[in-house]
Each structure stands twice: as structure tokens, then as C-alpha cells.
């Protein structure tokens, strides 16, 4: 380090700090956020942290400096041991109807995307219903949806639990709401279907939200030039507390869900709005014995929430590990603060 210029010494120190932050975020999937909140918060910025490491690699490479190994190591370990952030190509396959089914998951934001007036909500709900009908998926899992959507879609089999709905072309044998002990506006449910020769259980999850206010969105999007330092620090502290509280609630919620999955007599598919990123404890627990449809057959970043500085992937379809997922899509229609996702699921013969 003594051979570095003053500027390069500063950059080297920043590189070391970033390496520490990366290490904490890298371990986030293995640390229960009820005990360790900081890793869960840093995991949200994991793609950004990796992007900064790429910039450090370029910087040190241009100077032929061995300090490049710091960021190269972080990127290499992330590539081999973290959930992929980007998929270079999709996997398309035309599936036999007697051995597969299609599924769509969508958080409709209670049809508030166009405004909160009654006529705006009703008009937007009609747009959402038209969009879903056009997709014509065999199974539909909706979160934050109004009760009137059932009559708009007119699927033969429907179950409603609060603001969550499951619609199906297949007969629903049984269904149930998963009760969360703590006070929460979010809920989850499941339904058992007889699909061709198989009986399957589909979970529709809407895990605890951050409940961000306008001041939180402003903080995450950009910092106002007129904002005083004390106000900025106060808002940052409140945001950290909200993230920590929501993450702890999600841990409690998935414990209930995982117990239900363990008791299921049928193979399971999990989908919905997890309100958490792939580099998280929540995702790692839910992906056990399942596949990620985006990783199996998606393309690009798979982002489903694009309201902040950079896009996030927080909506998922996780089929059973013995099934195959094809034709995964993030649907581009802007009808909510979330993007709808869909894919085709193939049973193994």
C-alpha cells in the first residue's frame, strides 16, 4: 500500500470497505434476520455492490495492480455460490397439454395504479381482468386483489382469502388460508388441484410488506438537495427499522408456511409476492426442495418491482424440484407497481 498514491490509497480503502459489505450481504441467506438485521438490509443492495466491484476490477486492471484480486474474488465467489442475478438466455419448449399446466402470479396493487378514485379503480380493474384473460393461464394466483375480480375473470374454480385469490381451470379439491399469529395485512393460502393424473398443491404467498411511505420512497429514489442532514439521518433510521421489522415478520410467516409444506401429502409449487430478494434468508428457506422458474427458463434480470433506484426481483414461481419449468416470462404490461410473471410447468413422466 505504501507504493500507492494518495488517491489510490483512498480508492483501496473504499474497495476494502466494499469487500466487507459484500461479505456480509453474501452471508445473508444463512443468517436469520431476526437475530442479524444488517445482512438482510445489505442483501437488498447485493446487485449494486457487485456492480461496484466490477468498476473496481476495471479500475485496477487499467493500472495493472494486484489489488484487482479483491473484487475479482468477490465476483467469482458470487458467480459460483450466489443466486444468479442475470440469465443470458431463456428456455422455450412447447409442452404436451396432458403433462403440463401454466401458472400466472400477479400482485394487482388493489387496482390503485391509475388512481384512487372509484371510477379510476373500477376502470383499472377491468384492464387487469382483460390482461389476465388474454394470458389464459390454467392457474392464476393473485395478491392484493379486490373481491370483484372473481366475477370479472369467470374461472370455473375460485378461492378467495382476504386480498388473495386462486383461480383455476382445474377442480380445487381443498383450499386453506395460512393463519399468521401476528398483526399483518398480508396473507397466504394454498389450494389442492387434480391436474391430469396428478394431485398438486399450489401456495399463493403474500409475505409481509415494508409499508413504505412517501418519505421512504423519496429517500430510496433520490435525496433532496434541500434535505437537512438530521432529517436525512432520521428518515434513514426509520427506514432501517421498517426493513428490520418486516423481515422479522416474514421469517415468522415462512415458518408457518414451511410447516404446511412439510405436512403436504402432495408435491408443491410456491408462488407469489415474497417481498424479498433472492439473496435472502427467506428465499433460501422457501427454495428448499423446489426450483426457481426464472433461473430454469427465464431471461434477463427477472425484475418484477421497478419503483425504486434499481429494479428488484421479489415475485417468484418455485415449482417442485422434480418438475420442469419452461417459458418463464416477466410480463411487461404496466398495471401495478409489480409485474406479473408466468411460466409453464411440466410433470416428469
* Long-range Cβ contacts of 4-13 (<8 Å, 24+ apart): 8/63, 8/65, 11/56, 11/59, 12/67
Per-residue confidence (pLDDT) for residue 50, from 0 to 100 = 96
Q: Check residue 218 and give its pLDDT.
A: 54
Classify 206 as helix, strand or coil: strand
* Long-range contacts of 134-137, Cβ-Cβ distance < 8 Å, separation of 24 or more: 135/104, 135/331, 135/340, 135/342, 136/102, 137/102, 137/103, 137/104, 137/342
The one-digit pLDDT tens for each residue of the chain (349 residues) are 667 888 999 999 999 999 999 999 999 999 999 998 999 999 999 999 999 999 999 999 999 999 999 999 999 999 999 999 999 888 788 888 889 999 999 999 999 988 989 899 989 999 999 999 999 999 999 999 998 898 889 899 999 999 999 999 999 999 999 988 777 889 999 999 999 888 999 999 999 998 665 554 455 555 555 555 666 677 777 778 888 889 999 999 999 999 999 999 999 999 999 999 999 999 999 999 999 999 999 999 999 998 877 899 999 999 999 999 999 999 989 999 999 999 999 998 6
C-alpha span between 43 and 72 (Å, rounded) = 19
Global pTM reads: 0.91
For each of the domains in the chain, give its residue range(s) and CATH number, in order of start. Answer: 6-81 (no CATH), 97-211+239-346 (3.60.10.10)
188, 209 contact by CB (below 8 A): no
Check residue 99 and report its DSSP letter: G
Q: What is the pLDDT of residue 216?
A: 46
Cα separation, 203 vs 189, whole angstroms: 6
Cα–Cα distance for residue pair 62/56, rounded to 1 Å = 10
Q: For position 90, what pLDDT does the model report?
A: 80
Q: For 77-87, how does the pLDDT look when each residue is reduced to its tens digit (9 = 90+)?
A: 999 999 999 99
Amino acid at each position: 500500500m505504501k507504493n500507492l498514491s494518495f488517491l489510490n490509497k483512498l480508492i483501496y480503502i473504499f474497495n476494502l470497505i466494499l469487500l466487507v459489505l459484500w461479505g456480509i450481504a453474501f452471508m445473508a441467506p444463512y443468517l436469520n434476520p431476526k437475530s442479524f438485521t444488517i445482512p438482510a438490509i445489505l442483501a437488498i443492495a447485493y446487485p449494486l455492490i457487485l456492480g461496484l466491484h466490477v468498476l473496481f476490477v476495471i479500475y485496477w486492471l487499467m493500472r495493472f495492480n494486484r489489488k484487482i484480486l479483491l473484487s475479482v474474488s468477490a465476483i467469482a465467489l458470487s458467480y459460483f455460490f450466489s443466486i444468479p442475478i442475470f440469465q443470458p438466455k431463456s428456455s422455450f419448449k412447447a409442452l404436451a397439454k396432458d403433462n403440463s399446466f401454466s401458472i400466472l402470479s400477479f400482485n394487482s396493487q388493489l387496482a390503485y395504479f391509475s388512481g384512487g378514485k372509484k371510477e379510476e379503480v373500477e376502470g383499472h380493474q377491468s384492464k387487469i381482468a382483460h390482461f389476465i384473460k388474454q394470458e389464459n393461464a390454467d392457474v392464476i394466483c393473485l395478491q392484493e386483489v379486490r373481491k370483484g375480480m372473481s366475477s370479472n375473470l369467470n374461472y370455473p374454480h375460485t378461492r378467495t382469502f382476504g386480498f388473495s385469490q386462486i383461480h383455476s381451470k382445474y377442480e380445487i379439491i381443498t383450499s386453506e388460508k395460512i393463519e399468521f399469529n401476528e398483526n399483518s395485512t398480508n396473507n397466504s393460502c394454498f389450494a389442492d388441484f387434480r391436474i391430469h393424473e396428478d394431485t398438486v398443491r399450489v401456495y399463493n404467498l403474500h409475505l409481509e410488506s415494508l409499508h413504505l411511505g412517501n418519505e421512504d420512497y423519496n429517500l430510496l429514489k433520490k435525496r433532496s438537495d434541500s434535505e437537512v442532514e438530521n432529517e436525512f439521518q432520521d428518515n434513514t433510521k426509520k427506514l432501517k427499522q421498517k426493513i428490520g421489522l418486516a423481515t422479522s415478520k416474514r421469517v415468522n410467516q415462512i415458518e408457518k408456511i414451511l410447516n404446511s409444506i412439510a405436512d403436504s401429502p402432495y408435491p408443491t409449487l410456491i408462488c407469489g409476492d415474497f417481498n424479498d430478494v433472492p439473496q435472502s434468508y427467506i428465499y433460501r428457506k422457501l427454495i428448499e426442495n423446489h426450483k426457481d422458474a426464472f433461473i430454469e427458463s427465464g431471461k434477463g434480470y427477472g425484475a418484477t418491482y421497478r419503483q425504486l433506484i434499481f429494479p428488484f426481483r421479489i415475485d417468484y414461481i418455485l415449482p417442485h424440484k422434480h418438475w420442469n419449468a419452461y417459458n418463464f416470462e416477466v410480463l411487461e404490461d404496466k398495471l401495478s407497481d409489480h409485474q406479473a410473471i408466468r411460466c409453464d410447468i411440466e410433470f416428469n413422466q
